[in-house]
Structure 1
Amino acid sequence: MMTRRMRVRGILFSILAVMTMPLLGQDACLPPGEKSFHAYIAAVTAAHTCKEAQHVFHQCVWGSSADLEPGAIVVKKCEASFIRRLTPRAKERYKLEMRLCAEEYASQEGTMSLSEGAICRVDVAASFASHLSRYDQPLPRASFDCSKAVSALEMTICSDAELGRLDIILGRSYGVLIKSFSAIDRALIRGNESTWLATIPQRCGLPNASKSKQAILCLRDQFQKRIGSLDACGASMDMGECGHQLGISAKTE
């Protein structure tokens, strides 16, 4: 079953494409089973363009490890339209974007995380195919402008490449999550995120241990755990479970 998080990832693409390709892949999107899986594979393989293949994939995604094979087919189809045109800088950016997909879901359990990773890779490849010129620049060092870093936390994030990548993943996960809930729930999640950011420096010994190996390792661990919590929250379809994952107190009427 497609989770709320999966639907949000694909919502912009669906708005742009569903009206122009309303029947594409319709017969392939049957309840999971051996015959429907073969139809799923056949549909993404038969798609004429990267955009069509991405559309079929989003329409038919199962939310399990079964999405790995069709996802790889879509990625390969999309790459065929741009891979030879990548500049050295864009090629490095593509590798890093794909690495972010792998790192975001590496520590999560269950087959749904494998599906999320496949969705991420498909969307990265499709975005490069459609907007290649946007990626002819290095991946940002963090989710914010490091030239404007002021706090000990910001400066430590910008001092470590791995921590910077985790900060980017965290920012993207939070951005997807915040779109999934009502205005009231979004306010709770924003408040929880602000509280988490405010407590992390002390938890990891900042500012006294800024940029120290121990502080960086602590921050990496905290960011990885937070990413896992945000992703679990987004997959839950329930603010109660989301509150459990993030430590948000239940609302009072």
Structure 2
Amino acid sequence: MRLRSCVAGLALVLLEGFLGGAALAAEECQAKSTSMDDIIVALNGAPGCERAMKQFEACAYGASGDVQFGEVVEKKCEADFIGQLQPPQMLSYQRELRVCDQKYRSKSGTMYISATAFCRAEVAQRYSQRALKSGKAGR
């Protein structure tokens, strides 16, 4: 029993590191169930990038299923800025996404696939935040 609690504690620490503290987030998943389809509906229904990211953090599987959730968040965040990026900015955005894709490439395990999805969503979230701060979002 003691070993099980140590392993669970270690898993929580690792997950917290990958999700930037999201494993301890107080927000609850607003999906009707833990099914992928219900979580995607909840993410699509989130009113904007920030809320979608919070729901992604709350509903994440911590495994490869998070790729689909992350894609929803990326698209929701991109709606705030993608049409406003000049070619050099678009190249920078794409480069940052590629960095995420490469970051855990040599690692095995589905938690690294999840970490990649979170990295990509966080990049899109940062670009969204900048666009909203500059007042150019969604134009």
Q: Same fold (TM over 0.5)?
A: yes
Matched residues in 2 for 1:29 and 1:99: separation?
33
Identity %: 32
**Match for residue 120 of structure 2?**
121
Between the two structures, name the one with larger relative contact order (CA 8 Å, sep ≥ 6). Answer: 2
TM-score, L = length of structure 2: 0.75
Q: CA deviation at 1:105?
A: 1.2
TM-score, L = length of structure 1: 0.43
Note the 1:41-56 alignment, pairs <5 A.
Answer: 41-56=40-55
Structure 1: runs of 5+ lacking an equivalent? 135-253
Asked whether 1:4 is paired with 2:3, we answer no
| CA 42–108 in structure 1, closer or farther in 2 if over 3 Å, else same | same
Contact 2:70–2:118 (8 Å) recurs in 1: yes
Residue-by-residue CA offset, 1:169-217 (whole Å, 9 max, x unaligned): xxxxxxxxxxxxxxxxxxxxxxxxxxxxxxxxxxxxxxxxxxxxxxxxx
Quote the RMSD (CA, aligned, Å).
2.6
Tell me which amino acid in the other structure corresponds to 1:6: F
Q: Which has the larger radius of gyration?
A: 1
Structure 2: runs of 5+ lacking an equivalent? 1-10, 134-139
Asked whether 1:104 is paired with 2:107, we answer no
Matched residues in 2 for 1:10 and 1:132: separation?
23
Matched residues in 1 for 2:39 and 2:63: separation?
13
**Number of paired residues?**
120
Tell me which amino acid in the other structure corresponds to 2:16: R
| CA 49–83 in structure 1, closer or farther in 2 if over 3 Å, else same | same
Tell me which amino acid in the other structure corresponds to 1:106: R
Note the 1:2-81 alignment, pairs <5 A.
Answer: 3-8=15-20, 10=22, 26-28=29-31, 36-81=35-80
Q: CA deviation at 1:37?
A: 2.2
Note the 1:216-227 alignment, pairs <5 A.
Answer: none
